[in-house]
Amino acid sequence: GENVEQHPSTLSVQEGDSAVIKCTYSDSASNYFPWYKQELGKRPQLIIDIRSNVGEKKDQRIAVTLNKTAKHFSLHITETQPEDSAVYFCAAADNNDMRFGAGTRLTVKP
Amino acid sequence: DAGVTQSPTHLIKTRGQQVTLRCSPISGHKSVSWYQQVLGQGPQFIFQYYEKEERGRGNFPDRFSARQFPNYSSELNVNALLLGDSALYLCASSSLRTAHTGELFFGEGSRLTVL
């Protein structure tokens, strides 16, 4: 199986600043890379995803980049807002399995 | 529209007991996956079912079992509970046969405490 490493484990930024969360994976068969946001006491919800045939994807203030050669992918949040505060999980998946990182607790200070 | 529903929301068991957790997927979704989320960690894949057949299994002992019913709802059973089984158990539904290649819709989870 594969492991997904996620960094940093905690991240604190000032409102309006950017936040970057990085993940690495080990299984070259991975072809789908989603990011989930989990607010305190709530269910994880998909915020953005990227497939292995794409290098970058953007949705308003959120973007994800993928480097398949290096087995790295990253989440970028620009112009952060207090409501972005949550735990963010990256994941790497193939047809059989989805493995999540340990999560990054993002705090956006007003 | 109803999302993924899970029951019970909270339960407390003692070591050695057995537990059954239930999940109803979003209407029209035929795939159900189960995940274990230990406090401070990401969800860990346990099982995936599609059209009542097991499509995938994570690295969990045989004490864990699951099934899917004709209406696509699902049950997760854990026998001989250990303290380490204490976790939030998440169910996720998908419209895809290969559920791990698209969005998963999670329920609120069942929080199991083993004493």
Closest residue to B42, CB basis, from A1, A32, A100? A100
Residue pair B20/B31 in contact (Cβ under 8 Å)? The answer is: no
Q: What angle do CA B39, A101, A11 make, to 5 degrees?
A: 80
Tell whether the model's pLDDT for residue B102 goes beyond 90. no
Give the mean model confidence (pLDDT) for residues B18-43: 95
Model confidence over B36-79: pLDDT tens digits?
999 889 999 999 999 999 998 999 999 999 999 999 999 999 99
Residues 6+ apart with CB under 8 A from B92: B4, B32, B33, B34, B35, B99, B104, B105, B106, B107
Give the mean model confidence (pLDDT) for residues A43-50: 95
Tell whether the model's pLDDT for residue A1 goes beyond 50. no
> Cβ separation of B40 and A97 shorter than 8 Å?
no
Query: Is the Cβ of B100 closer than 8 Å to some Cβ of chain A?
Result: yes
Closest residue to A46, CB basis, from B56, B103, B108? B103
Query: Is the Cβ of A42 closer than 8 Å to some Cβ of chain B?
Result: yes
**What percentage of chain A reaches a pLDDT higher than 90?**
85
Query: Is the Cβ of B20 closer than 8 Å to some Cβ of chain A?
Result: no
SS3 B85: helix
Name which of A22-31, A91-100, B18-27, B78-87 the model is least confident about.
A91-100
**What pLDDT is stored for residue B99 in this prediction?**
75
**Residue A71: φ, ψ to 5°:** 60, 45
Model confidence over A73-91: pLDDT tens digits?
999 999 999 999 999 999 9
**What pLDDT is stored for residue A54 in this prediction?**
85
Query: Is the Cβ of A44 closer than 8 Å to some Cβ of chain B?
Result: yes
Rounded to an integer, what distance in angstroms lies between the CA atom of residue B21 and that of residue B19? 7
**What pLDDT is stored for residue B100 in this prediction?**
80
Closest residue to A96, CB basis, from B41, B100, B102? B100
